[in-house]
Amino acid sequence: MSVIISPSILNSDFLKLGESINMLNRSEADWIHLDIMDGVFVPNITFGLPVVAQIKKQATKPLDVHLMIAQPEKYIDAFHDAGADWLTIHFEAATHLHRAIQQIKAKGMKAGVALNPHTSVTSLEEIIQDVDLVLNMTVNPGYGGQKFIESSYSKISRLKELIIKKNSKALIQVDGGVDLNNIKKLRDAGVDSFVVGTYVFRSADPISTIHSLKTI
């Protein structure tokens, strides 16, 4: 399977959001990543349901929605209605994770669970067979443009081992500090899907940059 590139619009120019979505539609990007932050679970606030719904009207790629919010289970139906195709919630934020994953799947979405850098992959032992994706944060969630956490490679390798051991079909996704300097090493460690924000949207030619990431 070729790598899955999911550019994060958090790093785009929000005054030209429609242009950014059209650019991603034309590119080789596989998904469009939407970071939803509430200022409670993480120290930042981004955008909410109305923006997701407007992006869905224009996007031709699946919406990869990452909820960095408290009590994510309260908003599963709403994000489905807004157009999420993949919905990822945090292990650290969901009190009843298994129930929330089942809620997501019942709405016909792909279900993901995210791990903060300090959270061990062993936390997923009892849920790994039920999820479609595990998002391993390779920076501390809340802001774009942070430096990649180098210990992530070994954590990803352990996650891959757990997926194989449990006969899970879950994809591994990473978010934070991904660029051409580390994407091959991450791929070799077992990553399937890459969230890329700053590296794409601050490049001179985002479409060419996405192509370079796709052809590692």
DSSP string, the chain: -PPEEEEBGGGS-GGGHHHHHHHHHHSS---EEEEEEBSSSSS-B---HHHHHHHHHH-SS-EEEEEESSSGGGGHHHHHHHT-SEEEEETTT-TTHHHHHHHHHHTT-EEEEEE-TTS-GGGGTTTGGG-SEEEEESS-TT-SSPPP-TTHHHHHHHHHHHHHHTT--PEEEEESS--TTTHHHHHHHT--EEEE-HHHHTSS-HHHHHHHHHT-
Determine the pLDDT at residue 144. Answer: 61
CA distances from 15 to 9, 19, 21, 42, 57 (A): 12, 9, 12, 24, 17
User: Domain 4-214: what homologous superfamily?
Assistant: Aldolase class I (3.20.20.70)
pLDDT for res 95: 92
**Domain parsing of the chain, residue ranges:** 4-214
How far apart are alpha carbons 159 and 9 in whole angstroms? 27
Encoded tokens for 65: 């929605």
Q: What is the CA radius of gyration of the chain?
A: 16
Q: Is the pLDDT of residue 145 over 80?
A: no
Active site residues: 35, 175
What is the per-residue pLDDT across 108-133, written as a single tens digit (0 to 9) for each? Answer: 999 999 999 999 999 999 999 999 99
Under 8 Å between Cβ of 131 and 94: no
Instruction: Using pLDDT thresholds of 50, 70 and 90, give the confidence band for residue 1.
Output: low
pTM (2 decimals)? Answer: 0.95
The answer to whether residue 39 scores a pLDDT higher than 70 is yes
| pLDDT of 186 higher than 90 | yes
Task: Single out the residue of 101, 112, 99 nearest to residue 62, CA to CA.
Answer: 112
pLDDT at residue 209 above 70? Answer: yes
